[in-house]
Structures are given as C-alpha cells and as structure tokens.
Structure 1
Amino acid sequence: MPRIELQTEIKAERNIVFDLSRSIDLHKISTEHTNEEAIAGKTSGLIGMNESVTWRAKHFGIYQNLTSKITEYDRPKYFADEMVKGAFKKFKHEHHFAELNGGTLMTDFFDYQSPFGIVGKIADKLFLKKYMTELLTERNRIVKQFAESERWKEVITE
C-alpha cells in the first residue's frame, strides 16, 4: 500500500495549524483547481470527531464523489480521516502536529490503496502517487500561508 509522508514547518501556534487543517473552507480554497465542493455532511466550518464530509471534485477530467470521516481526534496533536466511500479502495490520512521552535511541525501520512488490482498498482507508479503528493503539498502550502499571516482569521471563526 503506497504511503505519502510530508513534513511542513509552520511559524504559527499549533492550535491554529490544527484548526486550519480541519477547516472545510480552507480545503475548498486549496483545491480550487479541481473545482472541489463539499456537497454533504459537514460542508463548512471545522470538522470534528465522527463527522463526515462528501467532496465532489474533478480529477483526471472526471467528476468524482468521495466521503471521508474523522475517525481519530486528539486536539491539537493529531487527527485522522478515512475514506468511507469513493474512488480509492481505501485511504487513511493522519495529521500530526508537534511544537517546534515556537511554531509547528505538521506531518502528514497518507496511506491509500487503489482499486482495480494490478492496474491500480501500475497507475500508482505511473502517476497517482505523484498526483496525490502534489495535491497534499498544495494543501499544506495554503495551510502554511494562512497560518503565518492573519488570513487564518478568514476561515477560523468558531
């Protein structure tokens, strides 16, 4: 099963980075290029334990729906979301937050399994892992951008 691991150093308080990472509204901003919309479940604000969201987005020229649920939650250190329904056979995205030099080290572990057996494994190697890494890297860039400025106040209102 492929694993993507990303680390992002952010010059902001851990609570802010944690909340930005679970913000439905910030996720929409970070995925504008895929026309991603939250269409069911928690569709705005901060998602929490046992809450789910269904996203509709255009990937590889095709609109797809994906539902994920927060399955683990320890504010402000960690949360995980897992796919309930969608294009993957399964995935789990772990979000870890550690204090680091007055800021935050955000670490993502994204474990997934593609559908379609050997064809899915070939797709992983050819393009899917790179594509998912780029999506997560862009998301983290936006989290960092908002956290290190006053822009976080635009999306964290709760």
Structure 2
Amino acid sequence: MKLYQLRSKQALPISQQEAWDFLSQPKNLKTITPEHMGFHILSGDDKPMFPGQIIQYKVSPFPGFTTKWVSEITQVEHGHYFVDVQLFGPYALWHHKHFIKPIEGGVIMEDIIDYKLPFGVLGQLTHPFIVKKQLKQIFKFREEKLNSLFGTMENVPNELTFDSF
C-alpha cells in the first residue's frame, strides 16, 4: 500500500497568535472547507484544541456519499503546532501536522499530511484522478478563504506538493 504525502505552505500577514487563535478553534475548519463537501461538525468543537480531544464530523467527499470522520488531536504546542489523526473515516491512514512559523511581516502556515487510501491497488488507481484532484481543490479553496479573511503576502510564494513512497 502506497503512502502519500501532501505538503502545503501559505504565508499570511498576521501574527503567530492571530493564526493560532483561528486554527486552534475546531469550529473554524468549516469556514475553510468548501461547501460542496457537506462538512458538518457533530461534536468536539466546543473548546480550543488540546491533546486527546476527539472531534467528529460528517463529510461528503463525493456526491451521493456521506461518511463520518473522527479525529483525535494527539499533540499540541500552543502557538506553534498541532497534530490530528483520523481514527475513523474515508482514509486508511490520515496523519496531519499543522505548523505556524513566524516570518518577517507575518507567518507561514505549513501542513504536512501523510495518508494512505483504502481498497489497495484500486484505491491507488483513484489517487491521481479523484483523491489528489480533490485535495488540490480543498487546499486551493482554503488558500483563497484564508487570503480573503487575513490578506496576502505577495513576496512569499505559497506551495502545494504531493509525493508518494
């Protein structure tokens, strides 16, 4: 089974604390998720992030298919990073690290997601045409939404890359 990795970097002209205040509130995930995903938090969004926190969602990754997604926040370093792991959901593995790093004039938000697809070879065949395409759309939406909320930093390019191992 292949392991895939998505890496995203986005610069925003806000302080590290402002970035943390937004990202550490699970309820804000709905704000940066495209409407067509049918994203709805069922529980766990009533407190800022803490290690051991369980968050339950409903999401429709494809038209006509809705699934439950349960994540655990496994690590938190206030203001700097947190890690969420899918306990139940559409992926065979989903390990998502979120970093916030100060730079001159703002922050770099970096996401590193290691993931595996279900269904063995069949799942791998869907990666380039369905899964990778959808993840690109989700992160593009997120980039545009965060830019509309907080502004842009023209001198620092945003990045989105995929690897497989």
TM-score by length of 1: 0.85
Larger proportion of helix? 1
Distance in 1, matches of 2:57 and 2:87, equals: 12
Moved more, 138-147 or 96-105: 138-147
Instruction: Indicate if the aligned counterparts of 1:4 and 1:133 stay in contact, CA closer than 8 A.
Output: no
Give the equivalent residue in structure 2 for 1:4: 6
Distance in 2, matches of 1:75 and 1:147, equals: 20
Instruction: Indicate if the aligned counterparts of 2:32 and 2:141 stay in contact, CA closer than 8 A.
Output: yes
Instruction: Indicate if the aligned counterparts of 1:76 and 1:97 stay in contact, CA closer than 8 A.
Output: yes
Distance in 2, matches of 1:75 and 1:84, equals: 23
Per-residue CA deviation, residues 25-63 of structure 1 (Å, 9 max, x unaligned), is 2211222332211113x1345332210111101121111
Give the equivalent residue in structure 1 for 2:69: 66
Number of positions where the alignment pairs a residue of Structure 1 with one of Structure 2: 148
Tell me which of 35, 47, 52 is aligned to 2:49: 47
Structure 1: 5+ residue stretches without partners: 150-158
Residue 14 (structure 1) shift: 0.7
Residue 143 (structure 1) shift: 3.3
Q: Which consecutive aligned stretches of 4+ in structure 1 deviate over 4 angstroms post-superposition?
A: none
Q: Secondary structure of 2:22's match?
A: helix
Q: Determine if the alignment matches structure 1 residue 78 to structure 2 residue 81.
A: yes
Residue identity (%): 19
Structure 2: 5+ residue stretches without partners: 153-165
Q: Determine if the alignment matches structure 1 residue 138 to structure 2 residue 159.
A: no
Q: Secondary structure of 1:19's match?
A: helix
Per-residue CA deviation, residues 89-110 of structure 1 (Å, 9 max, x unaligned), is 0111111111111310111111
Instruction: Indicate if the aligned counterparts of 2:92 and 2:116 stay in contact, CA closer than 8 A.
Output: yes
Tell me which of 106, 109, 121 is aligned to 1:118: 121
Instruction: Indicate if the aligned counterparts of 2:50 and 2:75 stay in contact, CA closer than 8 A.
Output: no
Tell me which of 18, 21, 31 is aligned to 1:19: 21
TM-score by length of 2: 0.81
Closer, same or farther: CA 48–136 of 1 in aligned 2, 3 Å: farther
Moved more, 12-21 or 129-138: 129-138
Give the equivalent residue in structure 1 for 2:159: none
